Amino acid sequence: MLRLLPLALLAVALPALAQPSDGPLAVAVDCPGYVPGCDLDFFQTEVGFARFVRDQADAAVYVLVVREGTGGGGDRYTLFFDGRRAPLAGRRDTLRTSTPPGASDDDQRRGLRDRLALGLAGFAARTGLANRLSVSYTAPDAAQAATEAADGVDPWNSWVFRINAQGYFSGQSQSSSSNLFGSVSAERVTEALKVSIRPRASYNRSEFELSDGSPFVSDNASYGLNSGVVVSLSDHWSAGGRVDLSRNTFSNYDARAEVTPAVEYNLYPYAESTQRQLRFFYQAGVEAVAYQDTTVFLETSAVLPVHEGGVAAEFAQPWGSVDIYSSASQYLSRTDRYNLSLGGGVELRLLRGLSLRVDGYYEFVRDQINLRAARAEDGQILTGDQELPTGFQYFASVGVSYSFGSIYNQVVNARFGN
């Protein structure tokens, strides 16, 4: 380990190689988080005038790719191009492309490749590569032009419907389990208005044969309907509301209804949401519940005014990415019953080739007024059959990655998998 330390320090200290005047364009592509279609191996084999490097410190052009889901169920990609070395230093560009819902992995990566190559061509044209580049254009024929014009008319008026059903089954001689889930959604998303209606249902059942031969069965079900409306008021302000109707045997809800109007303020314009967001929200409403079993407060039903506020930050920048949220909720009629939470993920580039990733959340729980008065049996505790009392819950992960060596990563060898 000590012998490797000088090599690591040397790798950090090495200066980035210069961009050859007529050689392949040194490019670093950064796709933070999950970006469908961001296949670097594919780009390396398909964009012939670029040579892809591992670290942005070695790149003549740095490309940040950010993905957002569209109202129609597809994906919209925003590509931010940043020139890092002469003669490209200071040159910037932004391109966008979209893929329709249901697009295959190959469709996604080819669409992203085409927009990446188009953006890089503008940078390559300012180098000696300009003599090796050409531009082609395929004009649409009359039939294609008519089809494109017809495609501009939306008979669904921006409404998108989805149906989802899943089932999981497993077992052995002494145990078995089944999990069923289904949902339907109807959404209409425009720049001015967002409307969603989402029914859902799930059922989980587990059966065990105990050591004395007796059976033990654990099952719980959840049904619900969530509906929300969001109105765009300005570049920074939004208002809306949510209605949620549900039944959840795990949490002791025989029936539950929530109505919560809300308001949100984004410090940055919503048009910059792919790069940065800092949103503050507040909502207040009422919750009416009928409990399945008598609660620890000896209640079978309740009407509870409730409010919640919080802040969420999302940044995707060359120095890394951040997704952090914090919220606090409280029952207004029982001010000693509240919930505080903090969570998110951060990825930071600390040094050349060295990055840090932290994910997790912590929740301070003081609002479990729905708990059953009867104590859970050991079998129910082990199988997670019902919600248990707790004062907190958390999850955390921390990771560090470091790489050094050849800055180029152009050769693809798929033998025995990658």
Per residue in 72-116, pLDDT (tens digit) is: 778 889 999 999 988 899 899 999 998 888 788 888 889 999 999
Asked, for residue 152, whether it belongs to a domain, the answer is no
Asked, for residue 27, whether it belongs to a domain, the answer is yes
Provide the token pair at 241. Answer: 């509301």
Instruction: Count Cβ atoms below 10 Å from residue 253 Cβ, excluding itself.
Output: 19
Same domain for 310 and 208: yes
pTM: 0.76
Same domain for 244 and 335: yes
Q: Scan for tokens 């300012």, then name that residue.
A: 126
What are φ and ψ of residue 283, in 5° steps? -140, 145
Which residues in 117-214 belong to E strands, given as ranges? 159-172, 175-189, 193-209
Same domain for 382 and 266: yes
Lowest mean pLDDT among 166-170, 180-184, 213-217, 288-292: 213-217
pLDDT at residue 412, rounded to an integer: 60
Asked, for residue 418, whether it belongs to a domain, the answer is no
Same domain for 192 and 127: no
Going by the DSSP 8-state scheme, the letter that residue 334 receives in this structure is: E
CATH number at residue 21: 3.40.50
Same domain for 128 and 258: no
Choose the final residue of a domain: 117, 132, 147: 132
Same domain for 185 and 108: no
Asked, for residue 415, whether it belongs to a domain, the answer is no
Q: Say whether pLDDT at 19 is over 70.
A: no
Q: Quick one: how many helices (H) and strands (E) in the chain?
A: 5, 17
CATH number at residue 194: 2.40.160
Partners of 257 in the beta sheet?
245, 288
Same domain for 316 and 206: yes
Domain containing 325: what range?
164-402
Same domain for 115 and 32: yes
Classify residue 143 as left (phi > 0), alpha (psi -120 to 50) or beta: alpha
Asked, for residue 301, whether it belongs to a domain, the answer is yes
Same domain for 387 and 290: yes
Choose the final residue of a domain: 132, 151, 174: 132
Same domain for 169 and 112: no
pLDDT tens digits, residue range 323-358? 999 999 999 999 999 999 999 999 888 887 788 999
Asked, for residue 83, whether it belongs to a domain, the answer is yes
Q: Scan for tokens 């191009």, then name that residue.
A: 81
Same domain for 172 and 81: no
**What is the domain count for the chain?**
2
Task: Write a three-state SS string for 374-414.
Answer: CCCCHHHHHHCCCCCCCCEEEEEEEEEEECCCCCECCCCCC
Contacts of 395 (CB under 8 A, 6+ apart): 359, 360, 361
Same domain for 56 and 168: no
Going by the DSSP 8-state scheme, the letter that residue 20 receives in this structure is: P
pLDDT tens digits, residue range 367-400? 999 999 988 777 777 777 788 899 999 999 999 9
Asked, for residue 263, whether it belongs to a domain, the answer is yes
